[in-house]
Amino acid sequence: MSAPRILIADDDAGIRQILAIQLEDAGYEVIEARDGVEAMSRFRERRPDLLLTDLRMPYKDGQQLLEAVLAIDAAATVVLMSAYATVETAVEVMKSGAFDFLVKPFNEFAMLACVQRALAISALRRENRQLRQALASPEQDAIDSRSEAVRAVYAEARAVADADVAVLLLGPTGSGKEHLAHDIHRHSPRAAGPWVVVNCGALPDNLIEAELFGHTKGAFTGADRAREGRIMAADGGTLLLDEIGDLPLAAQVKLLRFLQQGEVQALGADKPRKVDVRVIAATHRDLPAMIREGSFREDLYYRLSVIALSLPPLAARRADIIPLAERFLRAAADEHRREAPRLSLEAAHLLERADWPGNVRQLKNLCERWTLLYPGKELAAAQLGLTQPEAGVAAAANWQLPPQGIDLLALEKSLIQQALTQTGGNKSAAARLLGMSRHTLDYRLEKHGL
């Protein structure tokens, strides 16, 4: 099984380095963050077993970070550190939900003893949470859907959850593929094991192999310490390879070898290591077309698609839009500790008629935005920031250049910003809204400094 994962958050690089060395020497996997904002991002991405954070940091201090982490995961285990400690401070952070409080300077043995106790509690909390999930009714954690097509996909996913085979999830960006993959994991015999997500499209080509397979110290320039890859981190559990269509061919070859042999060889390592991982892959791309073009391996495709499941876009299941919106509004209100806004009749009608190029993800992001901007209020259609697609297209076709002219660059920048807002930051969906390719949009984003 993989080593416990510890996130260190401290704005002092020297302290981070010392703690990282001591913890890695003790056999732990370490993630580092320079401030509270970066730590929050790392926590969301990697879900560490333990957060070890300084109390005084820029942007978001340790107390704020503690509260934000517990709002996401009430079972998270957090230890705070400070050189400016008082009894009152320690009592305050313990009341806020911290597991323990370390006063700087502390010696290595005291720190490791505290970490060991905290990880034991973390393991118990995780076991309790998994037990509650296992005892829950299947209906309680199923996606809210009135669509027969979506219900059929989830039924098929549950039917194969206990079969240790690769699954390929297909569907447009933002349609809920990660939720479906997690549902498979939670209903599989691996539910007690790690759940690791890798977005293949978000990693630079020159780093993706090191990220997936790990590397030894000195394997390449900048590899100042050994790092366990994401596949090894998922040992005993499930690995979701999101946007598998963006995986470079060189990495596809190594991934195929891992699927065939159940072994991972880190960059710079002398020999491979056995690993027990179930792989679920997801993509919005047409993999058979990519095979014909030569950009995706056919043998890898057949390895990944033992079971293939396809999710429809949100626009094809309009009966789901209002129930999902209400669910996302409640969730956002709980996360941000605000009262959920309510949908007026006209707002609900507009939601049902909207185009939703960003699918479920776009709807979720907008619900969070509305919760932050209009807590406890009834949402009017004008506050949604959505336009009916028919009206938008007609307006563009009939638009006339005013006699005084326009600032074309400013207009282009404004339209790009609006498209990104409507799609919840999904660049591919924004490009479709603007009638341009993703590469063209990337160029224009760079041109406008967005």
pLDDT tens per residue across span 72-114: 777 789 999 888 767 777 777 788 888 888 888 888 998 999 9
> What pLDDT does residue 2 have?
65
Nearest to 284 by CA among 303, 255, 324, 312: 312
Contact 251, 208 (CB under 8 A): yes
Report DSSP state, residue 356: -
Q: How many CB atoms lie within 10 A of CB 240?
A: 26
* Residues 291 and 180 sit within 8 Å (Cβ to Cβ): no
Is the domain 5-135 a CATH 3.40.920.10 member? no
For 222-225, the CB contacts below 8 A with 24+ separation are 223/267, 223/268, 225/20, 225/24
Tell me the two tokens of residue 78. 């957090």
Q: Which of 413, 433, 309, 417 is nearest to 359 (CA)?
A: 433
Residue matched to tokens 């949100």: 314
CA dihedral 140, 145, 150, 151 (to 10 degrees): 50
Alpha-carbon Rg for the chain in angstroms: 24
Question: Does CATH place domain 148-312 in 3.40.50.300?
Answer: yes
pTM of the model: 0.56
Cite the beta strand spans of 346-425 per DSSP E.
Answer: 378-379
**What pLDDT score does 140 carry?**
41
d(CA 226, CA 216): 4
Distance CA 152, CA 166 (A): 19
Q: What is the pLDDT of residues 206-245, one digit of tens each?
A: 788 888 888 888 767 666 777 788 898 888 899 999 999 9
Burial of 332 (0-12, 13-18, 19+ CB in 10 A): buried
User: Which residue in this structure is represented by tokens 């997690």?
Assistant: 182
CA angle in degrees (0–180, nearest 5) for 287-290-295: 125
CA dihedral 147, 148, 150, 151 (to 10 degrees): 120
**Which of 197, 198, 174 is CA-nearest to residue 185?**
197
Other CB atoms within 10 A of residue 17 CB: 15
Asked whether the beta carbons of 44 and 15 are under 8 A apart, the reply is: no
Profile the chain (450 residues) by mean pLDDT over runs of 10 residues. Answer: 84 91 92 89 84 87 86 83 76 82 88 91 72 47 68 90 91 90 92 90 80 80 76 90 92 91 84 90 93 93 93 87 90 87 88 88 92 91 75 54 79 86 79 72 80
Looking at residue 8, what is its pLDDT?
A: 94
What was the pLDDT predicted at 291? 93
> Is the omega angle on the peptide bond into residue 48 within 30 degrees of 0, that is, cis?
no
On whether the CB atoms of residues 226 and 215 are closer than 8 A, the answer is yes
For residue 293, CA distances in Å to 93, 281, 285, 312 come to 57, 20, 13, 25
The pLDDT of residue 388 is 56
CATH code assigned to 316-448? 1.10.8.60
Q: Give residue 136's pLDDT.
A: 47
Q: Do domains 5-135 and 148-312 have the same CATH topology?
A: yes
Any idea where the domains of the chain sit in the sequence? Answer: 5-135, 148-312, 316-448
